[in-house]
A = this chain, B = another copy of it.
């Protein structure tokens, strides 16, 4: 019902929703009951207009003259983002990074859990980390299909990434979060996001170099808050 600006939300808007969601959780814990777009923007490094626009992509959650009701908005964000579906995740690659991902408590706290882990190294297979038994690669397909896993985290070396991706896709995975520094090719029905440390560091290296070169003293037109999300 209602109007609600029903254009598709920009990808960045969705990422910002995550930030709003997280911030709302904090406000809720603090016992805050109402929040304005102005307030929320200050907490997330966005602008008030942007907060209103982002939220308006999905519905009319606020009350004019008042603001947004924290608890209700938090619940709405949760529904929109699909948190609470409790998608089970698989991890491939239990090296340093993979182990850190298994131990990362941000996932369970947000309702996501790594329920299966795989590695090609026989020395790691069979080990247990955080209640998850590391299985060999050749059990990927069977396990993922029988447990209906649709999301996978890829923490394998760059050279193995594409081959493993194809295994995962063949097993029926629909979403991939890739940590290997390569460009993965996936069929169009599979969704892909990448966390690429080299890119981030090189980006910083670039802006650093640039800001050192051009007027080190005077320049004040830098990033203000979260370079990644704004603009």
Contact = CB atoms under 8 A, between A and B. Distances in A.
Which DSSP category, helix, strand, loop or mixed, fits chain A's interface? mixed
B184 A226 contact: yes
Contacts of A43: 183
B96 A204 contact: no
Interface in A70-118: 80-83, 85, 87, 89, 96-97, 99-101, 103-104, 106-107, 110, 112
A164 interface: no
A44 interface: yes
B197 A227 contact: no
Nearest to A208: B175
Given A112-B201, A202-B83, A220 B189 contact: yes
A205 interface: yes
Interface string A139-155: 00000000000110000
Nearest to A152: B204
Interface string A15-38: 101110111000000000000000
A1 interface: no
A207 B190 CA distance: 10
A197 B106 contact: yes
9 contacts: A11-B227, A11-B231, A14-B207, A89-B201, A107-B201, A112-B205, A191-B227, A192-B225, A194-B226
